[in-house]
Amino acid sequence: MLMSSMRDWERRKVLETANVTIELIKLPAKQTAKSFKPPRLALHIKRSDSFKGIIVDSVEVLEDLIKALSNERTKRIVEALERLNGNNTIELELEL
């Protein structure tokens, strides 16, 4: 019933923290030359002050996202970016 009551691309807030919003989103049917995906529900994860975000439509995608965000390298890069953005005189060395 939930999916039939929602319009394509309609979003409904599921969870909100200080900086992140998670919404339920209805994705429209998608036809390509090789496949067809019917309308489906997914999660839309975004910054609270943004419209764009990441679509999560499977546990595999969610687990990959969690793995990438939990990676120590990701944390070190964000910490370096915070320092760089707070003080433009800091030199930054990253192995990208």
> Residue holding tokens 């998608």?
30
Q: Kindly give the confidence (pLDDT) of every residue in the chain, 96 residues in length, as a single tens digit, with 9 standing for 90 and above.
A: 898 999 999 999 999 999 999 999 999 999 999 999 999 999 999 999 999 999 999 999 999 999 999 999 999 999 999 988 886 554 556 666
* Domain boundaries along the sequence of the chain: 1-57, 58-89
Collect all residues with Cβ–Cβ distance below 8 Å to 96 and sequence separation of at least 6. none
* DSSP string computed for the chain: -HHHHSPTT-EEEEEE-SSEEEEEEEEPPEE-SS-EE--EEEEEEEETT-S-EEEE-SHHHHHHHHHHHH-HHHHHHHHHHHHHHH-TT-------
pLDDT for 84 equals 87
pTM of this prediction? 0.78
User: pLDDT digit string (tens) for 37-46?
Assistant: 999 999 999 9
Helix axes 59-70 and 72-86, enclosed angle (nearest 10): 60
pLDDT for 74 equals 96
